[in-house]
Structure 1
């Protein structure tokens, strides 16, 4: 797959958004944050998370301010914003995720309180999978490899008409996801 050719309108990909040294430092910083199991409608996910800036509560559907985005994430936010064609302050939410072996994330669309989604993949490689309904039981599916240190942008059609997910895998992986407000 060529990273400069979009497979789905609104999807952009970039390899090597950050250097290996920056990746190592980010993983260490994420390790210093208190991550908690993801909660979704009474179920506990295998991935561990922490939100900064804003927080969407999947238990009660509320959207509220969270602790501010820490200064150590500001350079990454600036780089993610430049990649998305946004000003850094437009990325109001950041979600840190640790995927332990066996963890993934099922089919979903990001909540409508958010608009642009920029994800940075850290640690091991994975696939970002997409699907959209073509009828009662048929889906169009696309799988995009995410190497370590790569970034993706979801906007427009891919953001609003497609679901996406990350399959469970056998190695430790992290992600940093920035979102703008709708």
Structure 2
């Protein structure tokens, strides 16, 4: 089945849809989703702005009320919008054709507080659009290592995918200067009691093409300390968290393929959050040690009944602190050092 498309309703009245397909508008022409939402909010409450395709020049603006969409189309279609740099927009109504493969079995949260998982925090707009552009340019100017479905870069210490661990005897050097401001900023992360003691020394950069995700896993307890920061750039995605019953916890990496395929298992709890570009996710405590995290292999995610395309790429910067001794966390049934 091909990618689902946003389509224009046929033979229906102007009030038929609260969703607008807007062309000549998007990140590729220098307009952030927040800027677009602000401009369109003049006509009513905007539920969200989403990429309509991978071009970066077309978006879906979703209103809470159909009447708001009707007014916005009447005022803005074919006319320059001062709030968007005077760009002349081309607008049509849009309806969604949600395919079964992107139907989530659990609702998608927009805020970490909605998950009710101790230790999960999410900060939106952790970096600016300009900083995002500079970070992407910095990694694109350095060599990538190709894996089966994605590309990676490692700094500080190399992550070994075969063992899901790091070789502490092989130090690659300090983290690159282009992340210095990020390292300073994480020290100010809310709800971080031991912020002054955070010395992150390992960075993995992942580039995900459309449709590529991440298998369910917990970062190995004995490999890394208790704080994991992940910055999302370029494209959005959803992340699912799974907490398994102690008796079915996958005790070795080889079993994780079975974990990924157990979509309908009753042996785990599931919760899902939406990660927009430029957001920073923190996993700590229970969330870091006892919950698998997983990025479904989708090209389109369903968020609050809206289909959100992931874009042409998503790049994540994951910062961690390498552990030099055994883990002594409070979750021994899930700990490779204590099993």
Q: Same fold (TM over 0.5)?
A: yes
Structure 2: runs of 5 or more not aligned = 1-108, 249-264, 300-310, 324-339
Deviation at 1:82, TM superposition (A): 2.5
CA–CA separation in structure 1 for the residues paired with 2:131 and 2:271 = 29
Please, which of 241, 249, 254 is the counterpart of residue 130 of structure 1? 241
1:81·1:91 contact (CA, 8 Å) conserved in 2? no
Deviation at 1:169, TM superposition (A): 3.6
Please, which of 300, 314, 322 is the counterpart of residue 181 of structure 1? 322
Aligned to 1:11: 120
What aligned pairs does 1:150-169 form with structure 2 within 5 A after superposition? Answer: 150-169=279-298
Aligned to 2:275: 146
Bigger mean CA deviation after superposition, 78-87 or 158-167: 78-87
Please, which of 152, 166, 185 is the counterpart of residue 79 of structure 1? 185
Deviation at 1:19, TM superposition (A): 0.7
CA–CA separation in structure 2 for the residues paired with 1:14 and 1:120 = 10
Equivalent position SS for 1:91: coil
Aligned to 2:149: 46
CA–CA separation in structure 1 for the residues paired with 2:173 and 2:212 = 26
Deviation at 1:96, TM superposition (A): 0.8
Equivalent position SS for 1:67: coil
1:50·1:97 contact (CA, 8 Å) conserved in 2? yes
Q: Hey, which of these two has a bigger chunk of helix by percent? A: 2
Query: RMSD between aligned alpha carbons?
Result: 2.1
Structure 1: runs of 5 or more not aligned = 39-44
Deviation at 1:103, TM superposition (A): 1.5
Equivalent position SS for 2:150: strand
Please, which of 28, 53, 63 is the counterpart of residue 167 of structure 2? 63
1:88/1:50 Cα in 2 relative to 1: closer, same or farther (>3 Å)?
farther
Specify which structure has the bigger relative contact order, considering alpha-carbon pairs within 8 angstroms and separated by 6 or more residues.
1
Equivalent position SS for 2:297: coil
Deviation at 1:37, TM superposition (A): 2.2
1:90·1:181 contact (CA, 8 Å) conserved in 2? no
2:213·2:297 contact (CA, 8 Å) conserved in 1? yes
Deviation at 1:62, TM superposition (A): 4.6
1:78·1:87 contact (CA, 8 Å) conserved in 2? no
CA–CA separation in structure 2 for the residues paired with 1:142 and 1:159 = 14
